[in-house]
Structure 1
Amino acid sequence: MNIALIAHDRKKQDLITFVTAYQPIFEKHVLFATGTTGLKIHEATGLSIERFQSGPLGGDQEIGAKIAKNQMDLVIFFRDPLTAQPHEPDVTALIRLCDVYNVPLATNMGTAEVLIRGLEHGDVDWRAYFRGQNPRLEK
């Protein structure tokens, strides 16, 4: 599965902690991230991560383009809801694309944990259908 990892500045350490805790799951998948977030996760875990621009410089839009092409299967985006973001329209567009293309999205650690455990158990395998692969739809 292709997984996007994004975090606002005040949430980066939370995402690093989360990815570190679930590293055995993440290492089985292809990871993408916005610039600084991807660098910090890589430095903390050694995981291979394809990095895009930072969010304010277009990284959210780059991930959005992958979603629109059905090339992203899951997005973990630790947002900071208490701090105004200069690129809020890009954030809103990314969330909208996840809804349009049925891409599971977690915006906080609680939901991310449910998604990552579901990923581990094969509950997200249906996403393969959207990429033209043979999905495992029944358990």
Structure 2
Amino acid sequence: MRLALIAHDEKKPALIEFAKNRSDILSKIDLIATGTTGQRLIDEAGLEIERKQSGPLGGDMQIGAEIANETCDGVIFLRDPLTAQPHEPDITALLRLCDVHETPVATNLATADAVVDELVREKEGDGFEDYE
């Protein structure tokens, strides 16, 4: 199972807190993230992350390519709908790709929990039996 983690600057602390709270299951998942978010998740949540480029350098596009190649099973993109900065990744293209390839995507913490829980449910029997 492969899950992408992305967050606008103002939402990075929330994603890190989410990752810490769900580290029991996230540590069993192949995680990818944009550069800065990935490094913070490594440093602050202690997770193994495959880091792509930072968002402004094309990391969101690299994750988009994984969605298009169907090598990404889900996306958590905590976006800041009120104060996103011009240098931050644009969610529109990723949402389109997720819709085209029927890849679950979460844009807030409530749906992030739902996406992780559903991916785990789908993978029960693949080392996730003891998760609850």
TM-score for both structures, normalised by structure 2: 0.87
* Within-5 A mapping of 1:79-118: 79-86=79-86, 90-118=90-118
- Matching residue of 2:74: 74
Higher relative contact order (CA 8 A, sep 6+): 2
- Kindly provide the amino acid, as one letter, of the partner of residue 116 in structure 1: V
Contact 1:4/1:32 (8 A) holds in 2: yes
- Kindly provide the amino acid, as one letter, of the partner of residue 18 in structure 2: F
Runs of 4+ in structure 1 off by over 3 angstroms are 87-90
- Kindly provide the amino acid, as one letter, of the partner of residue 78 in structure 2: F
- Structure 1 counterpart SS, 2:81: coil
- Kindly provide the amino acid, as one letter, of the partner of residue 24 in structure 1: D
- Matching residue of 1:65: 65
* Within-5 A mapping of 1:29-44: 29-44=29-44
Please give the alpha-carbon distance, in whole angstroms, between the structure 1 residues aligned to 2:45 and 2:88.
29
Q: Following TM superposition, by how much is the alpha carbon of 1:54 offset from its aligned partner in structure 2, in angstroms?
A: 1.0
- Kindly provide the amino acid, as one letter, of the partner of residue 10 in structure 2: R
User: What are structure 2's unaligned runs of at least 5 residues?
Assistant: 124-132
Deviation string 1:79-104 (CA, Å, 9 cap, x unpaired) is 00002442578421111000000000
Please give the alpha-carbon distance, in whole angstroms, between the structure 1 residues aligned to 2:70 and 2:78.
21
- Kindly provide the amino acid, as one letter, of the partner of residue 37 in structure 1: T
Please give the alpha-carbon distance, in whole angstroms, between the structure 1 residues aligned to 2:67 and 2:56.
18
Contact 1:61/1:90 (8 A) holds in 2: no
Q: Following TM superposition, by how much is the alpha carbon of 1:120 offset from its aligned partner in structure 2, in angstroms?
A: 2.7
Q: Following TM superposition, by how much is the alpha carbon of 1:116 offset from its aligned partner in structure 2, in angstroms?
A: 1.5
- Kindly provide the amino acid, as one letter, of the partner of residue 64 in structure 1: G
User: What are structure 1's unaligned runs of at least 5 residues?
Assistant: 126-139
Please give the alpha-carbon distance, in whole angstroms, between the structure 2 residues aligned to 1:30 and 1:89.
22
Task: Find out whether 1:51 has 2:51 as its counterpart.
Answer: yes
Please give the alpha-carbon distance, in whole angstroms, between the structure 1 residues aligned to 2:54 and 2:88.
13
| Number of residue pairs matched by the alignment | 123
Please give the alpha-carbon distance, in whole angstroms, between the structure 1 residues aligned to 2:88 and 2:34.
15
Q: 1:113 to 1:28 in 2, by over 3 A?
A: same
TM-score for both structures, normalised by structure 1: 0.83
